[in-house]
Amino acid sequence: MHDDTEHHSHGNRVEDLRLITGAGKYAADWNVPGQLYGYFVRADRAHADIVSVDASKALAFPGVTHVFTGEDAIKAGYIKGPHALTFPGRDGMQARSPDRPVLAHRRVRFVGEGVALVIADSAGAAQDGAELVEVEYRDLPCVVQPEPALATGAPQLHDDVPGNLAFEAEAGDEEAVEAAFAKASHITRLKVESTRVAPSPMEPRACLVTYDPGRDEYLFNVVMQGVTTLRTQLSAYTNVPQDKLKFETRDVGGGFGQRTIAYPEYCALMIATKASGKPVKWVCSRVEGFLTDTHGRNNIIDGRLALDAEGKFLAMRLDWVSDMGAYLQPGAMGHIRNTITCMTGVYRIPALYASYRVPLTNTTPVASYRGAGRPDIAYVVERLVNHAAQETGIDPADLRRRNFIPPSAFPYKTPTGAVYEIADLPGLLDKALALSDWQGYSKRRAKSKDAGKLRGIGISTVIENTGAGNAAKDEIEIRLDASGTVTVYTVSKAQGHGHETTLAQIVADALQVPHAQVKVVQCAVDSTLQGNHTGGSRSTVGAGSVCHLAAHKLIEEGKALAALEMHLEPSQISYGHGEFKSNESGRGIKLADLAKKKPLSILAEGKFGSTFPNGCHIAEVEVDPETGVTEIVSYCAVDDCGVVINHAIVEGQLHGGVVQGAGQVFGEQVVYDPDTGQPLTASFQDYYMPRAGLLREIRGQEHPTPSKVSPLGVKGVGESGCTGSIPVLVAAVIDAIRPLGIQHLDMPLTPARVWGAIDNASRQSS
Ligand code: MCN
């Protein structure tokens, strides 16, 4: 590898200086002269008919210029948002997606739903004006939990969604599973919940929309994860043609899937800017974010795993209830599609069957969150495997080894039709066992016991699909200018992932030029490139691979041009380290000199399938039986994300993902009052956030098996940490408290919950 890129492959993210010195430009930093400000009046109840909205007092407030309501949303025709459950369900069922006018019309269905948009000449006036909007409601009974929502007699949210059941789906072979269950020598059963969480990126949502009547175009300065998906969805919601929707964004402070979609607020702002003739800006508060940014996970899964007398897995059945909140959103598809793709986990399980029921409830809509179903499936499969190990008395590492898909079986077609490309699971396990000193555990457990602590160890071995996207293809443009600078254009958008570093590194590597010579421009305002947004850990497999192809195309086209210059045939030219050279005379022409004659522009494209990163994580915890407080005392992660482009960034991605998973395990949970539907966790005073001290050290190792899906050999890594950490940390805590007779606890494993279980167990045994 070239010296410079070698240097960068171990760190030095080029975007960091800007981002950590306050020089980033986030959505709320965009302003234009003469802009107005929007503030949303939001439902303060979970379920009610809107009897009337009286804006007269608000309109009389100094500075307020307009108030828009559900009537305006209906008039504009901004009524039906796109959703992603577009594949056929059980018996060909089509998802029942109710209307969702961009401002609520006649009915509100969750606390926080936008009812009116007040526009004023200052943010303060808009907020004060909003206080004066009088909404008369007729309260309706609400339902905020998924299983009660499906029960007979439950309050009904939408006339066109009978029984609150928006979708039903199934996968696998139910008969084969039932037949295998009938012969099994052991069946493990566990019902688990992957809790509803609030993704909470650092940067709150914000959006400035400017309407240009001359061009009939809208320009958005908005938080996003890539322009193409947002544009498609906004167009679907509003019927405004895609080429009339422009976007300009520079930095995004975290996304985690939550910044992908076309939120109704953005469409309501379109109504406001068009009607007022002025740009309109809205900045979301943190509380509003908790109420209206899509939530994540939120699955209840009843799982059964059948084993034979040797501990071989025979069959697995999973019955899911996947609550999507009050309306279907784009993004929620992953809860079904990804969980089917990864259903067999890393194991050979000959028969699989899953059923899905998707209820709607009086809660904030749910969409994808880091992993989008992959952590959920890994969680239930790994919990079942650990539970089975316990029940059969087989060592959990050994039980895994007995059931792993062997290296020789790859590419492996799973019973639910996915094709896992490549993995070395036994190798991964061996490395993780050695790294964590699995053998020495009992000594450490005894030591903890002496100190009055309950020690537990957990293991997870997981695999997930990453890479494939919805876009027809990923396109990259590379321009070479007369200064020799290579500029790479992409429509993916980093939200903290370091793409300015890694995409540049890929191109610089291929061109053998210093890293600093390559600049990355994401989502240029007039770009017409196609491609996937950043999500599904696909940017490196997709955009990254095309960067590689584009750089090689640049070399080939450059050779042709250099040959013309030197009156030679392209075959007589070779390329290396930024220079085209005649093979015979050694005469050369540098990239910059070539561009001085004629700037070069290259367009490359590619379409890539899924890659399957996998990992083995082993964690140890100490639980204090007096307080229920858990401390993570050891965390080892061995991961295979194929060829690594930048080791420091990959390590950072894994750390971030692991801690995000730990947040869900130990505290994060969105809670609603079951009677009133009021959210009880709509601020950081009530909603737990993991802090640095939660996980002090991760010992990590790479175990790459290069992918052939990508010419770079890469697999995605952005979500892997979450997928591995949730099952392993829960397993470790359960292992610690199992000697007290506790077999199962649902997340979050807060001190109160753990202590309560310990207390309960000790009462029962005494
Ligand atoms: N990388 C690498 N070598 C590999 C694979 C990846 O060097 N073999 C680098 C990439 O070049 C990139 C980073 O690791 O800089 C993540 O790459 P990739 O796995 O391709 O994932 P994406 O860039 O598509 O990121 C999406 C993924 C998802 S889906 C969520 S959600 C998520 C995540 O990444 N949200 C994040 N990581 C996040 N990190 C930050 N800081 N903020 C978020 O919102």
CATH number of the CATH domain containing 526: 3.30.365.10
Average pLDDT along the chain: 96
Residue 4 pLDDT > 60: no
**Are 683 and 704 part of one and the same domain?**
yes
Same domain, yes or no: 279 and 427: no
Does residue 763 form part of some domain?
yes
Is 221 found in the same domain as 74?
yes
- % of the chain with per-residue pLDDT over 90: 95
Q: Which two tokens stand for residue 341?
A: 């793709």
Nearest CA to ligand 1 atom 22: 537
Q: Is the pLDDT of residue 8 over 50?
A: no
Helix (H, G, I), strand (E, B) or coil at 157: coil
Counted residue by residue, the chain has a size of: 766
Residue 7, pLDDT score: 43
Residues 306-339 have pLDDT tens digits of: 999 999 999 999 999 999 999 999 877 888 999 9
Q: What is the pLDDT of residue 469?
A: 83
Nearest ligand 1 atom to the CA of 704 is 8
707 and 590 within one domain: no
726 neighbors 667 (Cβ within 8 angstroms): no
Same-domain check for residues 96 and 237? yes
Q: Which of 13, 422, 492, 539 to mutate to test the pocket of ligand 1 (most atoms within 8 A of CB)?
A: 539
Q: Give 462-475 pLDDT, tens digit per residue.
A: 999 998 888 999 99
Classify residue 214: in a domain, yes or no. yes
CA–CA dist 481, 457 (Å, integer): 56
The 3-state DSSP class for residue 48 equals strand
First and final C-alpha spacing in the chain: 66
**Nearest protein CA to atom 41 of ligand 1, as residue:** 496
Q: Give whole-number Cα distances, 589 to 434, 516, 563, 703, in Å.
A: 52, 20, 10, 41
Please give the pLDDT value at position 478.
98
* 556 — pLDDT class (breaks 50, 70, 90): very high
Is 473 found in the same domain as 433?
A: no
* Per-residue confidence band for 384, with pLDDT thresholds at 50, 70 and 90: very high
The pLDDT score that the predictor gives to residue 2 is 38
Q: Of 289, 318, 338, at which residue does a domain stop?
A: 289
Q: 33 and 98 share a domain?
A: yes
Q: Is 187 exposed, middle or buried (0-12, 13-18, 19+ CB in 10 A)?
A: middle
Q: Is residue 83 part of a domain?
A: yes
Ligand 1 midpoint to CA 498 (Å):
8
Distance CA 244, CA 241 (A): 6
DSSP 682: -
**For residue 11, what pLDDT is reported?**
53
User: Is the Cβ atom of 339 under 6 angstroms away from ligand 1?
Assistant: no
Identify whether residues 685 and 757 lie together within a single domain: yes
For the chain, the domain total comes to 3
5 has a pLDDT exceeding 70: no
Residue 6: predicted pLDDT = 43
Residue 564 falls within a domain, yes or no?
yes
Q: What is the pLDDT of residue 692?
A: 86
Q: Which token pair is 605?
A: 């494209």
Express each pLDDT in 502-518 by its tens digit: 999 999 999 999 999 99
Which of the four pLDDT bands, split at 50, 70 and 90, describes residue 449? very high
Tell me the per-residue pLDDT of 686-707, one tens digit each, with 9 for 90 and over.
Answer: 999 999 899 989 999 999 999 9
Å from CA of 485 to ligand 1 middle: 25
List, for residues 24-49, the tens digit of each pLDDT value. 999 999 999 999 999 999 999 999 99
What is the b/e burial string over 358-373, where b = at least 16 CB atoms within 10 angstroms of the residue's CB?
bbbbbbbbbbbbbbbb
Tens of pLDDT, residue by residue over 565-613, are: 999 999 999 999 999 999 999 899 999 999 999 889 999 999 999 999 9
588 and 695 part of one domain: no
pLDDT of residue 467: 80
Residues 561, 487 share a domain: yes
Query: Pick from 246, 267, 289: which residue ends a domain?
Result: 289
Q: Is residue 590 part of a domain?
A: yes
pLDDT in tens, 519-531: 999 999 999 999 9
- Tell me whether residue 402 is in a domain: no
Helices (H), 261-308: 264-276, 286-292
Distance CA 313, CA 657 (A): 29
Atom number in ligand 1 closest to CA 720:
19
Closest CA relative to residue 90, chosen from 171, 201, 9, 191: 171
The number of the ligand 1 atom at minimal distance from the alpha carbon of 201 is 44
Is the same domain home to 558 and 472? Answer: yes
> Per residue in 155-195, pLDDT tens?
999 999 999 999 999 999 999 999 999 999 999 999 999 99
- 452 in any annotated domain: yes
CATH code for the domain in which residue 244 is found: 3.90.1170.50
Domain boundary among 244, 273, 289: 289
Is the shortest distance between the CB of 548 and ligand 1 below 6 Å?
no
387 lies in some domain: no
Summarised one tens digit per residue, pLDDT across range 340-360 is: 999 999 999 999 999 999 999
Pairwise CA distance, residues 543 & 537, whole Å = 11
What percent of the chain has a predicted confidence (pLDDT) above 70?
A: 99
Which domain range does residue 520 map to? 468-606
Write down the pLDDT at residue 431: 98
Quickly state the pLDDT bin for 12 (edges 50, 70, 90).
confident
Q: Are residues 638 and 548 in the same domain?
A: no
How many angstroms separate the alpha carbon of residue 535 from the centre of ligand 1? Answer: 8
- Average the pLDDT over 635-652 and give the result: 97
Q: Please give the Cα distance from 105 to 107 (Å, whole number).
A: 6
